Structure 1
């Protein structure tokens, strides 16, 4: 079977279904002599005749050997067609994409990426995972959102600078934009150390603001609840709270939308920032069109977000 090609098997199937070499030739767009050559090559490869040829107007019939060959040949052709379809879908951007992300990106940039991919490639499969802090790596991922470069095995694009803001109960901190020094010694609720928190705390300490962490938790909602309970303020990136801030006043209200539990958002001067990157495997010359398009969408979505944090009521 080493010399058998898919076209020989397609010719075998066409003859069996049409009944004659001539009709099979018309169906396949070959000359009748080409069809005969295909079958001759196939019969040489399998070591015997695959058709009984009664001659005259009578249709040809599969031999027992031909029946075996066509049974398995149809299966091979089915797999080949499936492969062709998968390759075509890949080239059209309708394959699968695995994306790793951060909670704050999941709330802001990622929804735009997912919505547009599904709108423009309805047959694509998108799988998401939130990466464990301190264990950021691409692995089998096609794309990874992270707030720092992750190493030499990945290429990346800087999506946006994400400023840190202070969230506090009204009256707990002076009104308006806060100098960093105003945070020195203040009690704060913060992320655990594994969540990149040391980078922020070291940067603030170098600028003269030594934070006094009173409680650590990984959940942004829990942090805000602790701030509402009066445990302290919180220093959080804008993307982590942007979807919660009131468009008119800049305050963050309770989860039920009530106005009785507002939190005030303060800008800092100078303003510390984190950088949000999108990573993909280095040297992937055959990166899927779906992944390439996702990168384009993420860059556009980040550009739309690249506006200063609102200083409405938060900075009065």
Structure 2
């Protein structure tokens, strides 16, 4: 039924919504004051000034608390969105470290991440995001346990959730490569093992020893077959994160086993399929590869 927004009851409800608590109003006045002060010199204004340069630590903490809580609310409307999940964990880290200027003995977002994982155990990408945050804080062994647990549970998921495995495998291999500069050759061997399991399609098992030449051959053939299947979908402009993660995984596998040139060839072949398509798909593909595969160029 239609209702008139000029009715007295509607106006009363609206007024009750817009009345903010004094604590929030005070924070808004402070933010407004900072912005007003810098309007005379806009070239010097940046959001880092609001979050990082203010002397009022309580103001910055309140803002980061708001960002974390707002993102948590967004997750209820957009579940299984790994970008929002990563955003809320990063906000939690900033709240517990830079915002409060305290040292943490564990990864600052660990408690929140465990609570989110417990509330939805089928969200394996959330496990992957959590593992990446643990690795970013140097807790590589803890990150490996989380990745291993998530990949081991893939087989028991519904078919519509199994496609998320491609991102999970790629993130895990990427974490290992990022750790290889300070830990010798073992992380690279671990990354090859992870990608061999992905490419060959065998059930994932935690790393125990170096992948054999036969396992690598099967993985290479498996990646080629998976990429061949993708071509038909890509020709229609159907591109998503999971299919691009497959391409990045195949390229990283070739780089680790056969050199950089072989890895670049995988990317070049993928671009030849994407470039003739619509412009939006090409931009999406290029952005994902640039943001998520930068580790390839630094190896």
Q: Is TM > 0.5 for Structure 1 vs Structure 2?
A: no
State the TM-score, normalizing by the size of structure 2.
0.24
Which structure is higher in RCO with an 8 Å CA cutoff and minimum separation 6? 1
State the TM-score, normalizing by the size of structure 1.
0.23
Structure number with bigger Rg: 1
Say which structure is richer in strand.
1
Say which structure is richer in helix.
2
